[in-house]
Structure 1
Amino acid sequence: MNAKYKKLNKDDAALLLVDHQSGLISLVQDFSPSDFKNNVIALADIGKFFQLPTILTTSFDEGPNGPLVPEILERFPDAPFIHRPGQINAWDNEDFVKAVKATGRRQLIIAGVVTDVCVAFPTLSALEEGYDVFVVTDASGTFNLTTQQSAWNRMSQAGAQLVNWFAVACELQRDWRNDMEGLATLLSNHLPNYRNLMTSYSRLQQARNK
């Protein structure tokens, strides 16, 4: 039996950024600090570029988990921001679920810290309620690779699609002609090698036009 290819659709997707908090991020060991921050901000930029409804949430941010990283808040100053007083699973927070449902979207793109709890729990809950869930693996982090792999397996076996931020951008874009310069700039800002590619292409085009 062939599995149906469920493509991300910018008109039916919402972005959920869960617990990217200054304290919790210090627990992330499956990516380097610089790579992880770049991946998270890249995903946020994708949400902004495609104008996806975006929901922010934190857990116990007045305690050791710390505040939301400022770069995310800067990009989404008007997004619903759910400060959970204690619920570990964001889906257990009524305001969070209301915000998700208010988007009217059925595809949920989710990333957070830590992968095995703050991402896995709401992912499993949303799947149970019939949402299509896309977990952005490289914008979610946890303690080690063993924990990472077990969390990924748990979510994928339940029906979540595991993707990286680059794949999210390209699948939402669908066709370079939609806005090649805009997407290429976004990718170049987060992938130095892609910037080299675009610089080479730009020089080639300039030479051809002489």
Structure 2
Amino acid sequence: MQIVFADLQDSIVALSGTNSPATIRRSSGVLGQVTQTLNIPFTVSVAPRPGGPGVIAELPDASAFVRDGPCCWDDQPWCAAIAAHARRTLVICGVTSEIVVLHTALDALAAGYDVIVPVDASGGLSERTENAALRQIEKAGGTVTSVAGLVTGMVRDFTTPTGRNVITALHHLAG
């Protein structure tokens, strides 16, 4: 498994009409903490913005891949980074669900990857349009879930040191 943080930039997260920016930040931050606790590879893909990427502070530190279009798969260096990890499951989150999440998920599915979209770490333009995008992803074979559902499927024992770190991270979802 690897995590794809897409367009989680201050100026773009603020545009979400479905999840509040605070929810997206918290949920993405929890995913970021879990990547570090479980040594899960991740990438950060961003849209070009005046003044630089402006990635939200809740994400783990990483160099961002700046792409020209609405889909991460259109960026060859990003594709090479994904392929280098040789992990066939991508967890894709970002803003907006109808653009970067949708197109990246559909292209990943077409390329033979399994795709999971945690809805609380993503945001859409409107409920109607986001729901349409999520239905498209599911119809193509992707899974739509939550950060809590995803993470508790990976770590089932919260009494171990790793499990305690994960459950502590999950408590941040409550705000």
- TM-score normalised to structure 1 length: 0.77
Higher relative contact order (CA 8 A, sep 6+): 2
Gaps of 5+ in 1: 1-12, 193-210
Q: Name the structure 1 match of 2:43.
A: 55
Deviation at 1:80, TM superposition (A): 4.9
Any conservation in 2 of the 1:133–1:160 contact (CA below 8 Å)?
yes
- The question of 1:120 aligning with 2:107 is answered no
Aligned pairs, how many? 174
What letter is aligned with 1:129?
A: A
Q: Could you tell me the percent identity over the aligned residues? A: 24
Q: Name the structure 2 match of 1:173.
A: 155
Any conservation in 2 of the 1:19–1:57 contact (CA below 8 Å)?
yes
Residues 181, 29 of structure 1: CA spacing in aligned structure 2 closer, same or farther, 3 A cutoff?
same
Deviation at 1:89, TM superposition (A): 1.1
For 1:53-92, list aligned pairs within 5 A: 53-62=41-50, 67-72=54-59, 75=60, 77=61, 79-84=62-67, 86-92=68-74
Q: Distance in 2 between matches of 1:119 and 1:94?
A: 17
What letter is aligned with 2:29?
A: I
- The question of 1:44 aligning with 2:26 is answered no
Q: Which has the larger radius of gyration?
A: 1
For 1:112-191, list aligned pairs within 5 A: 112-178=94-160, 179-191=162-174
SS in 2 for 1:176: coil
- The question of 1:29 aligning with 2:31 is answered no
Any conservation in 1 of the 2:26–2:58 contact (CA below 8 Å)?
no
Gaps of 5+ in 2: none
Any conservation in 1 of the 2:28–2:58 contact (CA below 8 Å)?
no
Q: Distance in 1 between matches of 2:22 and 2:65?
A: 26
Cα deviation, 1:118-172, whole Å, max 9, x if unaligned, reads 1010110010010001111110101111011101101000000011100111011
Deviation at 1:54, TM superposition (A): 0.7
Q: Name the structure 2 match of 1:208.
A: none
Q: Greater share of helix residues, 1 or 2?
A: 1
Cα deviation, 1:17-40, whole Å, max 9, x if unaligned, reads 001011111210112232222122
CA RMSD of aligned residues (A): 1.8
